[in-house]
Homo-oligomer: A and B are copies of this chain.
């Protein structure tokens, strides 16, 4: 029985470095299926309950596709209105009922802590799809998996990495979770670039510092990204602000484009972003003139998300060692553009 069989995946706090490394090794083995070179039917007959009580098309579809790629079926909900929760049902009741219909559940909800509460009453494993400004563990995992892959391509590893995190470090939960995950590794150096009011929460900053990592803070972009390996840009989390006006104050403060990249970054600094990137003219966090830059890893991140989520499903449902056994060559056209 592989590790995490039957487990809930609700917080990156539940992972040790060895756990993360194991997930990444399993994720590597999912590539032939994600690239449609092979089809596996290992989860034929299994049902994912894809319960998104807060809209998130991309994350919802990534989880659903990952499950389909392992051969399983997906039942899902999107949005809050269509839920018994508004009729006064407790999250625990909802969990108990829905877990009777499925083999594993992905759950997203706007309230911090709601996924853990839901998981406590579920009869089947629950994987978090994000709960408010609290956690989004699979995003953090796919970010770190991408960092590992990008660095590996350069003969490096996560240990010894220097990373700049840029933007809304206060409300951006992906930054929080990624910081924690990175702190499982060695000699990582953090460059935190944000307006003072949107700086990294104290508890995370102190955690990272207490573990002996080098951390510097700045509210200027260009001079701070000079010698980093990774630039991790983020969106102003408008939906977490008291009002749109307050969010607007910060939108577009740190813009990266090809000219700035060429002038200030190392020639192969990797550019990341949890997406969606805000491409409206008043924000334009990552200019579209970066799209031809081979170091722009933002779409590799989302592609990697499929691998990481397939790995988690396979581990939680204990089929890691059966994926190949129930596989065969895909039958259809599978060239991919771009």
List, in ascending order, chain B residues with CB within 8 A of A100's CB.
299, 302-303, 306
**Residue of B75, B275, B276, B336 touching A124 (CB-CB under 8 A):** B336
A268-323 contacts to B (CB < 8 Å) = 275-280, 283, 288, 299, 302-303, 306, 316-319, 322
**Residue of B61, B97, B331 touching A58 (CB-CB under 8 A):** B97
Copies of this chain, whole number: 3
Assess whether A58 is in contact with B43, with CB atoms less than 8 Å apart. no
**Residue of B47, B283, B302, B332 touching A88 (CB-CB under 8 A):** B283
List, in ascending order, chain B residues with CB within 8 A of A336's CB.
99, 123-124
List, in ascending order, chain B residues with CB within 8 A of A303's CB.
100
Assess whether B39 is in contact with A57, with CB atoms less than 8 Å apart. no
Assess whether A57 is in contact with B83, with CB atoms less than 8 Å apart. yes
Assess whether B77 is in contact with A78, with CB atoms less than 8 Å apart. yes
A96 at the interface (CB under 8 A from B): yes
A interface residues, tally (CB under 8 Å): 84
A129 at the interface (CB under 8 A from B): no
Q: Complex: how many Å from CA A40 to CA B44?
A: 10
Say whether, besides A302-B100, A330-B45, A335-B6, A89 and B279 are in contact (CB < 8 Å).
yes
**Residue of B40, B42, B278, B331 touching A319 (CB-CB under 8 A):** B331
**Residue of B90, B97, B238, B333 touching A288 (CB-CB under 8 A):** B90
Assess whether B332 is in contact with A317, with CB atoms less than 8 Å apart. yes
A191 at the interface (CB under 8 A from B): no
The stretch among A19-27, A63-71, A179-187 that forms the contact with chain B is A63-71
Q: Complex: how many Å from CA A199 to CA B310?
A: 52
**Residue of B71, B90, B96, B331 touching A322 (CB-CB under 8 A):** B331
Task: Give chain B nearest CB distance to A100 CB in angstroms.
Answer: 5
A84 at the interface (CB under 8 A from B): yes
A218 at the interface (CB under 8 A from B): no
List, in ascending order, chain B residues with CB within 8 A of A58's CB.
84, 97-98
A73 at the interface (CB under 8 A from B): yes
A12 at the interface (CB under 8 A from B): no
Assess whether A334 is in contact with B103, with CB atoms less than 8 Å apart. yes
List, in ascending order, chain B residues with CB within 8 A of A102's CB.
65
Assess whether B74 is in contact with A57, with CB atoms less than 8 Å apart. no
Assess whether A49 is in contact with B61, with CB atoms less than 8 Å apart. yes
Q: Complex: how many Å from CA A29 to CA B338?
A: 33
Task: Give chain B nearest CB distance to A106 CB in angstroms.
Answer: 13
Of chain B, the residue at the smallest CB distance from A44 is: B39
List, in ascending order, chain B residues with CB within 8 A of A96's CB.
299, 338
Assess whether B101 is in contact with A62, with CB atoms less than 8 Å apart. yes
**Residue of B75, B235, B277 touching A64 (CB-CB under 8 A):** B75
A-B contact pairs, 12 of them (CB 8 A): A36-B103, A42-B331, A45-B71, A46-B330, A57-B82, A93-B277, A93-B279, A94-B276, A121-B338, A122-B337, A319-B333, A322-B331
- 7 further contact pairs, Cβ within 8 A, besides A40-B45, A41-B44: A43-B331, A73-B73, A73-B74, A84-B275, A97-B275, A103-B334, A123-B337
* 4 residue pairs, one from A and one from B, having the closest CB atoms: A39-B45, A89-B276, A55-B82, A88-B278
